[in-house]
Structure 1
Amino acid sequence: MLNHVLPVVDLLDSPTASGASLADHLRALAPADATIEVETVTAERGATDFVRVVIPGSAGRSSGGDAPTLGIIGRLGGVGARPELIGLVSDADGAAAALAAAAKLLQMASRGDRVAGDVVVCTHVDPDAPTEPHDPVPFMSSAVDIATMNANEVTADMEAIVSIDTTKGNRILNHRGVAISPTVKEGYILRPAPDLVAVLETVSGEPAKILPLAQQDITPYGNDLHHVNSILQPAVATSAPVVGVALTTVTAVAGCATGASHETDIALAARFAVEVAKGFGTGQVAFHDESEFAHMIALYGENVRFQTLGAPATATV
């Protein structure tokens, strides 16, 4: 996987980094039936390039098969914070891992090793994103808002989503490497998926680390609540189960810090995503227990209000 991480990181670590340059790199590895698209979205704070890659599976929906489709999202504010800071920022790890996973899956497909289900990989590339204050360390912000990111990265065909994000700016998970979150679905925080725990332990060779979540972490940005970061923001835009893949550190590291990316950790996150793609398409890896979720809904009702901005506060006498 490092063979894919290193060229991706090199392309991202440039003031001229763009979706086009990453797309050209991926096309050189891709089979003829893969789709690689770039769309530039401009907003008041700047512009960013959304990169979308579709790798058809051997029994995927795109070819009339019944294998489910996995989404892999690289979530971030930007890959650089120029002109304030020079170089690749820590926040870029989500994009780097997602694009490296796409490169690996494309190369596998070109060689004849296709996973069963289609895989859709989405992220964005912005070398001069803004920053913003956050406790305990500054966040990377973005040229576009979360709703725009979700609109361009969360697609209706994703039947489960792996959301990869740098999650180093906190003091709640003191571990260098990769952790996964509990599964989030339709406003519920479910238990960590046993199949995904097993995949993480296999690819890391260590006991799985679980990212703790608060209820407010799975609500949309814009409601004036504290969020650990944007790792679970895709969950507000879909009914599919979403699991965060967090690149973590022992100490709190700002998302806008440069010189703070660890290529081996990026490779671990990418390998996790690829192995999940292999198992999800064949039904060997599940993100949640569907019957238990249905029973929870029957007992307690829907929780989709947590996928919204909520009701405005009203004064009481």
Structure 2
Amino acid sequence: MLKHALEVLDLLDRPRTSGRLLADHLRSVLETAAAETGEALPAGPKPEITVTRVEGHQGGTDFVKVVVPGSRGKAAGGGAPTLGILGRLGGVGARPERIGLVSDADGAVSALAAAAKLLDMYGRGDVLEGDVVLSTHVCPDAPTRPHDPVPFMDSPVSILDCNRNEISPEMDAVVSIDTTKGNRLLNHRGLALSPTVKEGWILRVSDTLLGVLETVTGADAHVLPITTQDITPYGNGVHHINSIMQPCVATDAPVVGLALTTGPAVAGCATGASHETDIAAAARFAVETAKEFGRGAVRFHDAEEFARLVELYGPMKQLQAAAEA
């Protein structure tokens, strides 16, 4: 996985990087893996890699989407669940203000490295049971904006554009990977898992996902503290830790955040702040979760307990609604 992370880092850390450049790389990973086996790709639906250019109020970005079909996934007419893996960020670079790959890029690198690994596995004949949909966006010249306690990366497009292009209705659960270093809530370098969020409810942390995290890091799991503010839509005038939980406002599927964290607060627009081994660990978490979720060994939430909460206290979907102007 570290090899895939390093290759993606190299492709993203350039002023003219693009979604097309990364898509071409991912296709070559699949083709090379298949060529090494000397056999045809597995029967059934084939992986799909698409790039969509979206222009916003502060520039444009390329959304990269990868669909890796499973042996019993929906694409093949099966019933295995589909996992969504999202790399959340404002941009991979902040040129011309900052030269180089910014800390905010870690989520994109993790998602693209996970996509490369899954495509490599598929080309070699290791097909998961469920479909996996991975998405992120590539922008080398995103703006920055003030934030407490350290500056944030902004995005050339709105969070609505991100959710619209990255979240698919077929996703039965979502892992949102995001750099979460600009805070004083979790002073630990590595990875942290958020509680599961579903339809406005902050639920308990998934024990099975904690197990996956401990397996891939070889260390005790850390949990990212989130608040009700963090799971409400951007633009409502309240403080958010960052955009890690924003997918939860656009889907009824359970969402967890996988945060790449540090000890001190590090600005999202800082360069030289990406830790390659942490990125590789985040990508491995995504791949291992995809394996286990597709075969039913990982649960993001307890469906019966969630239904009981709604029965007792009512729906909380109002927290998913954007604030009125």
TM-score interval, smaller chain: over 0.9
AA at the equivalent of 1:49? D
Specify the alignment match of 1:43 in structure 2.
56
Which residue of the other structure, out of 141, 152, 156, is the alignment partner of 2:165? 152
The within-5 A match list for 1:146-225 is 146-225=159-238
Could you tell me which residue of structure 2 aligns to residue 292 of structure 1?
305
- Which position in structure 1 is the counterpart of 2:101? 88
Match runs of 1:42-121 below 5 Å: 42-121=55-134
* Distance of 2:217 and 2:202 partners within structure 1: 24
CA contact (8 A) 2:235 2:323 kept: no
User: Deviation at 1:250?
Assistant: 0.2
Count of residues in correspondence between the two structures: 312
Q: Tell me, what secondary structure is at the counterpart of 1:104?
A: helix
2:281 is the counterpart of 1:272: no
**Does 1:11 pair with 2:24?**
no
SS at match of 1:29: helix
Gaps of 5+ in 1: 313-317
Opposite residue 12 of structure 1, the aligned amino acid is: L
Local SS of the residue matching 1:247 = strand
Partner of 1:26: 26
Looking at structure 2, the residues matched to 29 and 121 of structure 1 have their Cα atoms a distance apart, in angstroms, of 15
Secondary structure at the counterpart of residue 86 of structure 2 = strand
8 A Cα contact 2:178 2:259, kept in partner = yes
Cα shift at 1:311? 6.0
Paired residue secondary structure (1:105) = helix
Query: In structure 2, what residue type is equivalent to 1:210?
Result: V
Alpha-carbon contact 2:142-2:153 (below 8 Å) kept: yes
In the TM superposition, what whole-angstrom CA distance separates every residue of 1:283-313 from its partner, at most 9, and x where no partner exists? Answer: 000100001001111111100000012467x
Equivalent residue of 1:28, what SS?
Answer: helix
Residue 179 of structure 1 aligns to a residue in which SS? strand
Kindly provide the CA deviation profile for residues 254-273 of structure 1, in whole angstroms up to 9, marking residues without a partner as x: 00000000000000000000
Q: What is the one-letter code of the residue matched to 2:26?
A: L
Q: Which amino acid aligns with 1:43?
A: G
Taking the aligned partners of 2:127 and 2:213, their CA distance within structure 1 comes to 21
Matching residue's letter, 2:70: G
Q: Match of 2:297, SS? A: coil
* Cα deviation 1:220-278 (Å, max 9, x = unaligned): 00000000000000000000000000000000000000000000000000000000000
Distance (whole Å) between structure 1 residues aligned to residue 69 and residue 15 of structure 2: 32
SS in 2 for 1:299: helix
Q: Which letter does structure 2 place at the counterpart of 1:81? A: A
Residue identity in the other structure for 2:25? H
Partner residue, 1:315: none
Match of 2:317 in 1: 304
Question: Hey, what's the Cα distance between the residues in 1 that align with 2:264 and 2:219?
Answer: 19
The answer to whether the aligner puts 1:129 opposite 2:145 as a matched pair is no
Q: Shift of residue 114 of structure 1?
A: 1.0
- 1:209 Cα shift? 0.2
Deviations 1:41-89 (A, max 9, x none): 0122100000000000111100011100000000000000000000000
SS at match of 1:41: strand
Whichever residue aligns with residue 28 of structure 1, its letter is S
Is residue 235 of structure 1 aligned with residue 251 of structure 2? Answer: no
Query: Secondary structure of 2:30's match?
Result: coil
Counterpart Cα distance in 2 of 1:114 and 1:91: 31
Report the secondary structure of 2:79's partner residue. Answer: coil
Whole-angstrom distance in 1 between the partners of 2:57 and 2:105: 22
Instruction: Report the TM-score when normalising by structure 2.
Output: 0.95
Once the two structures are TM-superposed, the CA of residue 30 in structure 1 deviates from its matched residue by 2.3
Distance 2:305 2:123 in 1: 39
Amino acid at match of 1:133: P
Give the Cα separation in 1 of the matches to 2:130 and 2:264: 38
Q: Which runs of 4+ in 1 moved over 6 A?
A: none
Displacement after TM superposition at 1:279 (Å): 0.3
Distance of 1:168 and 1:115 partners within structure 2: 32
